[in-house]
């Protein structure tokens, strides 16, 4: 049940329902409202007349008629008056009521415009925050399988903040330029060439470091356990008392019986042979998360997660792997290790990868915030 940002004309969306940013009369108007009425044809207006209007913050449903969408949900957003007249609450109510109507009617996909951000004057950045927060809260609570699209007409409509955009641009530009041996800023030279990510399958040192770290910790724990248990066995056999034993490492895990060398080898082999699915499920357990908490936080559809869980050799896409790494709040080494399990790697030759690295290095693990940046740079989004 992901939230997906798309750049499109909402009247062209092939979904169960599109949301119309309507006025109180529901009889059409300018902007998105007028465009939807024109695309749907005169029968939409006839049905809207029978509804008798709609109050601000509320929503009504009609058929879609000549639209690709089966239904239109008409939501009346607030007019911006400086934010002092309950605009935020009324706007959030538009999204909540529209989603409830979709859920009650068994709809599986719904597309929203950025309600009130046009002629009603609601600042786009603030309108986006309300939309994302409300939709995210609904998706986290509902049991319905629903895909929600937030339809942005152009990139200028999505403001991720001038300071943040500039920081990401500089971070990506500097590292991209170095990886290509280019002393000039990448974005200064090729600002127009923001393409989809090219997937890299090569290993790098940080990936190997992540894998080695897990193996080393396993060996240290097993070795400490063997030493302690062997010493205890020697003492119990009647040997002379030994000096007080040094305390085990804080990382050492308690163990009943000393593991054999073959068991240590098997444990290491299991780590090395661990599939992406194996590692994902292990990390979910280590984080104390439930499956639903993880896939919702990753913006991943439940059906896709079920496939991954049931097939340990499942091969996910690169954005799917990264979405789970973000949900689990993995550091860069752990993220690279998880990517390696699926046959991918992060590269400084790839703008998509560099944007991901920017957020991970700063400990910023909000998948929707990351998707805003990816969208602004014309990159593929996280989640599915």
Exposed/middle/buried for residue 318 (C-beta within 10 Å: 0-12, 13-18, 19+): buried
Q: Which of 68-77, 186-195, 295-304 has the lowest mean pLDDT?
A: 186-195
361/332 Cα distance (integer angstroms):
7
Q: Are strands 3-7 and 59-63 parallel, antiparallel or unpaired?
A: unpaired
Q: Which residue has the tokens 């003492």?
A: 235
Residue 335 has pLDDT above 70, yes or no: yes
For residue 383, what pLDDT band results from cuts at 50, 70 and 90? confident
1/140 Cα distance (integer angstroms):
9
Predicted local distance difference test score (pLDDT) of residue 237: 42
Q: Are 346 and 333 in contact (CB under 8 A)?
A: no
| 178 vs 184, higher pLDDT | 178
Q: For 219-236, how does the pLDDT look when each residue is reduced to its tens digit (9 = 90+)?
A: 444 444 434 444 444 344
For residue 194, what pLDDT band results from cuts at 50, 70 and 90? very low
Q: Stretch 21-30: mean pLDDT, rounded?
A: 93
Q: What angle do CA 147, 148, 150 make, to 5 degrees?
A: 150
Residue 39 has pLDDT above 80, yes or no: yes
365/221 Cα distance (integer angstroms):
30
Q: What is the mean pLDDT of the chain?
A: 81
Residue 35 has pLDDT above 60, yes or no: yes
282/334 Cα distance (integer angstroms):
13
Q: Are strands 59-63 and 71-76 parallel, antiparallel or unpaired?
A: antiparallel
3-state helix, strand, coil in the chain (%, to 5): 50, 10, 40
Residue 252 has pLDDT above 50, yes or no: no
Predicted local distance difference test score (pLDDT) of residue 98: 98
Residue 116 DSSP symbol: T
Residue 257 DSSP symbol: S
Domains and CATH numbers, the chain: 3-157 (3.40.220.10), 161-207+275-384 (no CATH)
Q: Which residue has the tokens 């789970």?
A: 324
Residue 268 has pLDDT above 80, yes or no: no
Residue 5 has pLDDT above 70, yes or no: yes
Q: Stretch 192-204: mean pLDDT, rounded?
A: 40
Q: Is 61 helix (H, G, I), strand (E, B) or coil?
A: strand
For residue 271, what pLDDT band results from cuts at 50, 70 and 90? low
Catalytic residues: 33
Predicted local distance difference test score (pLDDT) of residue 372: 87
167/172 Cα distance (integer angstroms):
9
Predicted local distance difference test score (pLDDT) of residue 157: 58
Predicted local distance difference test score (pLDDT) of residue 334: 97
Predicted local distance difference test score (pLDDT) of residue 166: 82
For residue 24, what pLDDT band results from cuts at 50, 70 and 90? very high
CA distances from 186 to 14, 172, 346, 378 (A): 37, 8, 18, 16
Q: Which of 192-201, 286-295, 301-310 has the lowest mean pLDDT?
A: 192-201
- Taking only Cα atoms into account, the Rg of the chain, rounded to an integer number of angstroms, comes to 27
pTM of the model: 0.71
């Amino acid at each position: 049940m992901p939230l997906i940002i798309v750049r499109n004309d909402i009247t062209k969306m092939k979904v169960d329902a599109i949301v119309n940013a309507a006025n109180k009369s529901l009889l059409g108007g300018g902007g998105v409202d007028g465009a939807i009425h024109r695309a749907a044809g005169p029968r939409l207006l006839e049905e809207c007349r029978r509804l008798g209007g709609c109050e601000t913050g509320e929503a009504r449903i009609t058929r879609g008629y000549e639209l690709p969408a089966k239904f239109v949900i008409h939501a009346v957003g607030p007019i911006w008056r400086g934010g002092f007249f309950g605009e935020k609450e009324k706007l959030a109510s538009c999204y909540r009521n529209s989603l409830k109507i979709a859920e009650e009617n068994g709809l599986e996909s719904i597309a929203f415009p950025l309600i009130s951000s046009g002629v009603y004057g609601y600042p786009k950045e603030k309108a986006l925050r309300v939309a994302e927060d409300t939709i995210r809260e609904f998706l986290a609570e509902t049991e319905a399988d629903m895909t929600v699209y937030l339809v942005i007409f152009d990139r200028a409509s999505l403001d991720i903040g001038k300071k943040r955009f500039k920081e990401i641009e500089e971070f990506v530009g500097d590292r991209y330029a170095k990886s290509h041996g280019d002393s000039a800023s990448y974005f200064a030279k090729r600002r127009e060439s923001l393409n989809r990510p090219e997937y890299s399958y090569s290993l790098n040192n940080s990936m190997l470091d992540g894998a080695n770290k897990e193996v080393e910790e396993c060996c240290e724990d097993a070795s400490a356990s063997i030493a302690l248990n062997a010493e205890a066995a020697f003492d119990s056999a009647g040997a002379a008392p030994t000096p007080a034993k040094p305390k085990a490492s804080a990382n050492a895990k308690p163990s009943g019986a000393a593991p054999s060398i073959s068991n240590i080898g098997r444990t290491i082999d299991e780590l090395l042979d661990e599939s992406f699915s194996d590692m994902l499920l292990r990390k979910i357990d280590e984080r104390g998360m439930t499956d639903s908490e993880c896939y919702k936080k990753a913006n991943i559809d439940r059906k896709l997660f079920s496939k991954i869980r049931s097939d340990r050799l499942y091969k996910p896409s690169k954005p799917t792997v990264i979405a789970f790494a973000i949900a689990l709040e993995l550091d860069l080494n752990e993220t690279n290790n998880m990517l390696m399990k699926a046959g991918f790697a992060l590269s400084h030759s790839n703008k998509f990868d560099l944007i991901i690295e920017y957020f991970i290095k700063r400990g910023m693990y909000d998948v929707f915030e990351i998707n805003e940046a990816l969208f602004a740079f014309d990159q593929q989004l996280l989640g599915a």
